[in-house]
């Protein structure tokens, strides 16, 4: 199967900087040695090195964790992401205050699951914002007014009714997503509060299993919500 070059690598391969580097290397070798073959070999080596470095940089950037920015969203979606981040911050504070040992080790495991949960909440909230944007692009009130002004047999009614039905479906999905995300945020807050409480106890490791299961459930539900919203653009 043929692999396509990443855009960053492709741009590096044909960029003026790459061409200038290769040309400079060739000119320098010609000046120093007078050998055309050596100049061509060095030029190819510089070109390959430049592309490889660009590829490594692109891979490194792609491997970096995506930045979660709740302020890129509007309410209520912004609130849900901020709430998830605050829960993660409270968990981190509890972890910091916990002495090294089995309890801290278990908290570290739970923290990995919680990180996934925050990421899933961010993804789901972005899909929710897309639903809101799609719904707002359809002016339901105006469509209804237009329908009210048409005769029952007017052929334009079918098109307006179809648009109004789309608006209704989007609004229904938006409200369902908002309600589910709000509920899962609350459950995440409860689980983190429980972790904070258990972190102050001696021998609270066994009780953390229940909390870990609760957080795991929330994470799975957040993922299911996000997957259910992945076709939001098609719904628009």
pTM (2 d.p.) = 0.64
Structure tokens at 68: 């979660």
Tracing tokens 């660009």 back to the chain, one arrives at 54
Q: Where are the domains of the chain?
A: 7-63, 70-235
- The CA distance from 119 to 81, in Å, is 9
- Is 115:88 a contact under the CB 8 Å cutoff? yes
pLDDT average per 10 residues of sequence, the chain (236 residues): 46 67 80 80 80 65 62 90 90 82 81 88 92 89 86 84 90 91 89 77 67 86 85 51
**Tens of pLDDT along 24-49?**
888 888 888 878 887 788 878 877 78
Sign of torsion over alpha carbons 65, 69, 75, 76: positive
């Amino acid at each position: 199967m043929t692999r396509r070059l990443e855009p960053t690598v492709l741009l590096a391969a044909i960029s003026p900087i790459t061409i200038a580097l290769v040309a400079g290397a060739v000119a320098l070798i010609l000046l120093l040695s007078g050998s055309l073959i050596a100049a061509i070999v060095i030029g190819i080596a510089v070109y390959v090195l430049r592309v490889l470095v660009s590829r490594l940089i692109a891979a490194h950037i792609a491997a970096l964790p995506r930045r979660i920015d709740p302020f890129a969203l509007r309410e209520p979606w912004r609130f849900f992401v901020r709430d998830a981040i605050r829960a993660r911050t409270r968990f981190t504070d509890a972890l910091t205050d916990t002495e090294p040992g089995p309890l801290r080790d278990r908290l570290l495991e739970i923290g990995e699951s919680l990180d996934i949960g925050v990421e899933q909440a961010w993804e789901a909230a972005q899909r929710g914002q897309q639903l809101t944007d799609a719904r707002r692009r359809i002016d339901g009130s105006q469509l209804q007014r237009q329908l009210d002004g048409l005769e029952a047999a007017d052929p334009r009614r079918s098109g307006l009714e179809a648009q109004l039905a789309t608006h209704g479906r989007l609004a229904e999905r938006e409200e369902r997503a908002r309600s589910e995300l709000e509920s899962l945020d609350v459950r995440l807050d409860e689980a983190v509060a429980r972790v904070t409480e258990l972190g102050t106890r001696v021998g609270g490791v066994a009780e953390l299993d229940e909390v870990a299961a609760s957080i795991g459930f929330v994470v799975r539900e957040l993922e299911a919500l996000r997957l259910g919203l992945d076709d939001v653009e098609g719904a628009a």
